[in-house]
Amino acid sequence: MAQHPNWVAIAVFAVALTESLVLVGLIVPGAVLMVAAGALISTGEVGFWSILLAAIAGAIVGDGISYWIGHHYSDQLKTLWPFRRHPQWLARGEIFVHRHGGKSILFGRFVGPVRPFVPVVAGMLGMQPLRFYRVNILSALIWAPAYLLPGMAFGTSLALAGEVAARLALLLLLLVGLIWLASWLILYLYRVLSPRAGQMTQKILNWARQHPRSGKLIGGLLDPDQPELRTLLTLAVLLFGALWLFLGVLEDVITGDPLVYVDQGLYQFLQDLRTPWGDRLMVIVTELGDSVVIALVAVAVLAWLMWRRSWHAAWYWGAAVGFGQLAASMIKLLLQRPRPIADIYTGISSYSFPSGHATMSMVVYGFLAVLIARHLSSSRRWIVYALAALLIISISISRLYLGAHWFSDVLGGLSLGLAWVSLLGIAYVRHPSPEPLPRSLPAVAMLVLVLTGVWHVNNQYSVDLQRYAPQLKIQHLQASAWWQDDWRLLPSYRQDLEGKLDQPLNVQWSGTLESVRETLYTQGWREPVSLNATTAMRWLLPDPDLKELPMLPQVHDGRHEALLMLGPSEQGREPLDTNNNNNQQLTLRFWKSGMVLDTDTGSVPIWIGSARFQQLRRILILRLPVTAHGFEQPLQQLTRSLSDIEQRVVRLARTTVESEPDWSGSLLLIRN
């Protein structure tokens, strides 16, 4: 779609039509494709109105075809393939239409399981065409923007993230994908297990009666006299699965099996996705699983249960938290596995397996979900489990992203915590509490989590940001060797995604950061407007001056630039946009190189930088300064601007830069 923008409207019409078509809509991922089309609109690849009208028209036509199929065949449709073999498809649609009447056409567009069948059932049941098309057109007018607008918002966020770092955009995609997958998996398991719980439980109990010795334990866990068969079965499946997973991970960690090699690969992949903004987000998330927050939430819940005299639930809660912490600590002491990054913790916390954050998050937030869901209706329980899973998975991902744990550490901690929560959950369901659980428990737990989380992040954030910061190894060079030939040892491209050559680093400057800044000041350079919530509002101006807009930072090797300067205006230079002379600006960014020069007076750092033009770009309602194409003209202007400073132009070999045909390989070396 991005490569053929002229065909996008036709493609969107086809997607909207087939997504609404009977049977075909089951396999067409219409929602995903519509969101993707919205993302293309935000990048300026295609127009908004043409895509919106195509989506509305496709949705109306698709539902109309389905309606007339049902209207034509009527009850004979049930005897045709494949409805003859799957009568439940039309049955679900009939129930939905009978329940909601004409509004079912509107509601059905947003309900996945019945979406492709509501229009055909409406025709089959004899709904009047005028009534059908009135709701059909109204629903299409709502449905199309409901999917395009989130895609446009997400596309805008990706465009912003891509200007800062492509790895940040990829990280956003991965996080959204994992959250969606986790939510879908929980809902899917709930829908699969719930209707079959009674039948599956009875089969297990029959097997236990036929094998008295080995089946005694299972028969005790799945007591047929208890009404909560669905909960018992779900917890039993989770228990056995989690135990099997934990023992498998433990065996691989002890023996050094292939999972350890997965640890190394995933660790390196996630470290290649590090960005300062990603670090800030993940540090906040990981602090929600810190021992301080976990302990305060656990104590507050225990105190509230005891205050409300829910002694049964309080005993189980204390057992869950106490054994979870004890088990994780004992295994850490026994294995003493080192962390990927040494010296970020001391004492028992310096050991890696299992992850304490993953284990205790699963125990505390997982068992809290069991307590709360136990007293909810079956139709609402999955919501509690989904929210708990979202928090637990987010904390676990943050530990991997920050490099605090190996993948096997997190997997082992999650499986250990899940096994313990499942076992306690089975016992808690089998032995109902004689005292009612306080209805205020969810509100109290949420309030305590929010308050302790805000307090802990406020006190610990700066310390943890430094604790988990990417490590930069320092290398030493001789000053004369760097000036002559060792400049080749420094990176030639801004490192964004692994294996991708992005923007050339065409400047190297030796000197302290303060001396570099002062030298540029004396040559007429200035720092840009600082980026904050107030100045970012200027991006909404219809015709802004580029010099008055804040610049987005850029990432090299997981770090934002240490210095960003704007060049002085130069007369006689042809603007990128002949209609607006204020539409471009020379920028110079510098990052730490990790190399220092050894001189007679001490060590002097080398800064690697990029001289580029920034130009205005329209992204939806925003006017943003983004990096323009071209490398030679910015470097030439920089050379003229700094003509009074000692400099030397060198050139990389053509084989080094052949992947970037617009760059000749020219580098500018500067020394104070």
For 519-548, write each residue's pLDDT tens digit: 888 888 988 888 888 888 888 888 888 888
Rounded CA-CA distance 353/375 in Å is 35
* Predicted local confidence at residue 573, as pLDDT: 44
- Count the domains in the chain: 3
Rounded CA-CA distance 604/602 in Å is 7
Residues 376, 488, single domain; the answer is no
Strand partners, 410: none
CA distances from 273 to 170, 270, 322, 355, 379 (A): 8, 5, 36, 21, 39
Residue with tokens 């060797």: 481
CA 137 to chain centre: 35
Residues 451, 485, single domain; the answer is no
Domain end position, chosen among 127, 145, 161? 161
Residues 403, 522, single domain; the answer is no
Domain end position, chosen among 161, 193, 212? 161
- Check if the beta carbon of residue 201 is closer than 8 Å to that of residue 225: no
Of 401, 364, 425, 413, which Cα lies nearest the Cα of 245? 413
* Predicted local confidence at residue 198, as pLDDT: 54
Residues 314, 402, single domain; the answer is yes
CA distances from 657 to 193, 227, 487, 488 (A): 57, 70, 15, 13
Residues 378, 486, single domain; the answer is no
Cα-Cα end-to-end distance for the chain: 51
Low-confidence residues of the chain, pLDDT below 70? Answer: 1-3, 5, 25-26, 42-45, 83, 112-113, 157-166, 183, 186-242, 256, 258, 378-379, 430-435, 497-502, 569-583, 620, 654-662
Query: Does residue 217 lie within any of the structural domains?
Result: no
Query: Does residue 236 lie within any of the structural domains?
Result: yes
Rounded to the nearest 10 degrees, the angle between the axes of helix 276-287 and helix 441-467 is: 140
Rounded CA-CA distance 530/566 in Å is 12
Residues 132, 237, single domain; the answer is no
Residue with tokens 């954050």: 357
- Check if the beta carbon of residue 63 is closer than 8 Å to that of residue 136: yes
H/E element, 503: strand 501-504
Rounded CA-CA distance 48/633 in Å is 35
Q: Which amino acid is at 415?
A: S
Query: Does residue 210 lie within any of the structural domains?
Result: no
Residues 359, 499, single domain; the answer is no
Rounded CA-CA distance 96/251 in Å is 50
Query: Does residue 186 lie within any of the structural domains?
Result: no
Read off the DSSP letter of residue 211. S
The half-sphere exposure of 71 on its side-chain side, counting CA atoms within 13 A, is 13
Residue with tokens 């997965």: 262
Residues 271, 410, single domain; the answer is yes
pLDDT tens for each residue of 478-489: 888 888 888 888
* Predicted local confidence at residue 497, as pLDDT: 62
CA distances from 100 to 23, 93, 122, 168, 334 (A): 21, 11, 11, 44, 61
Q: Are strands 602-619 and 584-599 parallel, antiparallel or unpaired?
A: antiparallel
What is the Rg, in whole angstroms, of the alpha carbon atoms belonging to the chain?
31
- Provide the residue range defining the domain that includes 307: 231-467
Q: Which amino acid is at 405?
A: H
Give the list of residues 6+ apart from residue 639 with CB closer than 8 angstroms, or none.
647, 649, 668
Give the number of other CB atoms < 10 A from CB of residue 545.
13
Query: Does residue 214 lie within any of the structural domains?
Result: no
Give the list of residues 6+ apart from residue 265 with CB closer than 8 angstroms, or none.
none
Query: Does residue 167 lie within any of the structural domains?
Result: no
Rounded CA-CA distance 409/397 in Å is 12
Q: Which amino acid is at 619?
A: I
* In 514-665, beta strands by DSSP E: 555-556, 559-560, 563-566, 584-599, 602-619, 622-627, 647-651
What is the domain-level CATH number for residue 252? 1.20.144
* Predicted local confidence at residue 647, as pLDDT: 86
Rounded CA-CA distance 130/132 in Å is 5
CA dihedral sign of residues 250, 253, 255, 261:
positive
Domain end position, chosen among 107, 139, 161? 161
Q: Which amino acid is at 639?
A: T
pTM score, two decimals?
0.67
Query: Does residue 432 lie within any of the structural domains?
Result: yes
Rounded CA-CA distance 80/237 in Å is 39
Rounded CA-CA distance 563/545 in Å is 22
Residues 499, 459, single domain; the answer is no
Helix (H, G, I), strand (E, B) or coil at 523: coil
The first and second tokens of residue 237, run together, are 């499946």
Q: Phi, psi at residue 570, to the nearest 5°?
A: -125, 125
Residues 244, 106, single domain; the answer is no
pLDDT tens for each residue of 549-587: 888 888 888 788 889 999 886 543 444 443 344 568 889
Strand partners, 587: 566, 612
Dihedral Cα 239, 234, 193, 355, nearest 10 deg? -50
Residues 278, 423, single domain; the answer is yes
Rounded CA-CA distance 58/537 in Å is 37
Rounded CA-CA distance 319/425 in Å is 11
Rounded to the nearest 10 degrees, the angle between the axes of helix 441-467 and helix 291-307 is: 170
Query: Does residue 199 lie within any of the structural domains?
Result: no
Residues 344, 369, single domain; the answer is yes
Exposed e or buried b for every residue in 647-672, given b needs 16+ CB within 10 A? eeeeebeeeebeebeebebbbbbbbe
